[in-house]
């Protein structure tokens, strides 16, 4: 499986990449330097609360749902929260399409969209989903 083949330790770029992908997806104007500086203010950049806070600041509310098996019942896009192998590090991916055979998502390691099989997606250790709600407030 090509997706997430490389497990990286201590890299906040998947948080930043996932935030950028979502902001671009919703066509929200932002400056990359401001987003990077905001992320740098958080000590726990792997925290689900961190990505929620950052997106909320840009007008995107999110609801955390435990358990990855509910993804077929939710609106797209959503953020999948996963554990990186046996490590206790959290990573984020953005799922933008699901059908009976494939999942289209943002791969934070190569920083672009990938299509993987539904079986490969089901084999990822996704612990939670963040359901996104655009337009709740004006944000920054």
Task: Report all structural domains of the chain as residue ranges with CATH numbers, in order of start.
Answer: 13-134 (3.90.70.10)
In this structure, how many other beta carbons lie within 10 angstroms of the beta carbon of residue 93? 25
Give the pLDDT confidence score for residue 139 in this predicted structure: 52
Q: What share of the chain is helix, strand, coil (3-state, %, to 5)?
A: 30, 30, 40
Give the pLDDT confidence score for residue 114 in this predicted structure: 92
Give the pLDDT confidence score for residue 62 in this predicted structure: 93
Per-residue pLDDT in tens (0 to 9) along the chain, 140 residues: 454 444 444 456 678 889 999 999 999 999 999 999 999 998 887 788 999 999 999 999 999 888 656 677 788 999 988 766 555 667 788 999 998 899 999 987 778 899 999 888 888 778 888 999 886 555 55
Give the pLDDT confidence score for residue 107 in this predicted structure: 84
Give the pLDDT confidence score for residue 1 in this predicted structure: 46
Report strand pairing: 78-83 vs 90-98: antiparallel
Give the pLDDT confidence score for residue 8 in this predicted structure: 46
């Amino acid at each position: 499986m090509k997706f997430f083949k490389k497990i990286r330790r201590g890299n906040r770029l998947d948080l930043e990449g996932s935030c950028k992908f979502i902001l671009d997806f919703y066509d929200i104007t932002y400056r990359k330097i401001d987003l990077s500086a905001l992320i740098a203010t958080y000590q726990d950049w792997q925290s689900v609360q961190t990505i929620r806070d950052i997106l909320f600041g840009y007008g995107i509310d999110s609801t955390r749902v435990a358990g990855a098996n509910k993804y077929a019942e939710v609106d797209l896009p959503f953020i999948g929260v996963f554990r990186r192998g046996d490590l206790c590090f959290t990573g984020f991916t953005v799922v933008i399409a699901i059908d009976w055979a494939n999942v289209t998502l943002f791969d934070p390691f190569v920083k672009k969209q990938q299509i993987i099989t539904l079986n490969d997606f089901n084999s990822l250790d996704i612990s939670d989903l963040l359901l996104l709600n655009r337009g709740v407030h004006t944000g920054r």
